[in-house]
Amino acid sequence: KMAGSSAPWIGSAYLFLQSTCKSIVLPSLYESSQKKPSVFKALKLALADSTGSVNGVDMLKVHCSHPHLIVQLKFCKQENCRRFLQSYREGALQVSLQNHLQLSLAMTTVPLEMELKAGNEHLDNMLTDEDRCLECIYREKPDRLRDEEITELEECFKSLIVHQSINNNMAVKACMSLNSPSLPYPSQGSSLSPQVTFIFQGQQFANRTLTLDDHQKFAKLVSKKWKQVGRSLQKNCRALRDPVIDNLALEYDREGLYEQAYQLLLRFIQSEGKKATIARLIAALEENGLISLAEELLGLHSSEDCS
Q: Provide the pLDDT for residue 108.
A: 84
Q: How far is CA 111 from the centre of its chain?
A: 21
Q: Within 10 A of 111 (CB to CB), how many other CB atoms are there? A: 13
- Cα(294)–Cα(222) distance, rounded to whole angstroms? 10
Closest by Cα among 50, 51, 48, 59 to 174: 48
DSSP state of 277: B
Closest by Cα among 257, 273, 272 to 306: 257
| Maximum C-alpha span of the chain | 73
Instruction: List the end-to-end C-alpha distance of the chain, in Å, as a whole number.
Output: 67
In order along its 307 residues, the chain shows pLDDT tens digits of 454 455 789 999 999 999 999 899 999 999 998 899 999 999 999 999 999 888 899 999 999 999 999 999 999 999 999 999 999 999 999 999 999 999 888 888 899 999 999 999 999 999 999 999 999 999 999 988 888 899 889 888 777 665 554 444 443 333 333 433 344 555 444 444 445 788 898 888 889 999 988 999 999 999 999 999 999 999 989 889 878 998 999 989 888 999 999 999 999 998 888 899 999 999 999 999 999 999 999 998 644 444 4
Q: Provide the pLDDT for residue 196.
A: 79
φ, ψ of residue 22 in degrees (nearest 5): -60, -30
Domains of the chain are 11-161 (3.30.70.680), 197-298 (1.10.533.10)
Kindly provide the residue ranges of all beta strands, DSSP E only, lying in 149-276, ordered along the sequence: 197-200, 203-206
- Cα(59)–Cα(150) distance, rounded to whole angstroms? 7
DSSP state of 238: G
- pTM of this prediction? 0.54
DSSP state of 145: P
Q: Assign 304 to helix, strand or coil.
A: coil
**How far, in Å, are 155, 226, 247, 257, 267 from residue 262 at the CA level?**
16, 9, 14, 8, 9
Closest by Cα among 203, 205, 204, 201 to 191: 205
Angle between helices 257-272 and 148-167 (to 10 degrees): 160
Name 232's Cβ contacts closer than 8 Å, sequence gap at least 6: 283, 284, 287, 288
Q: Within 10 A of 20 (CB to CB), how many other CB atoms are there? A: 10
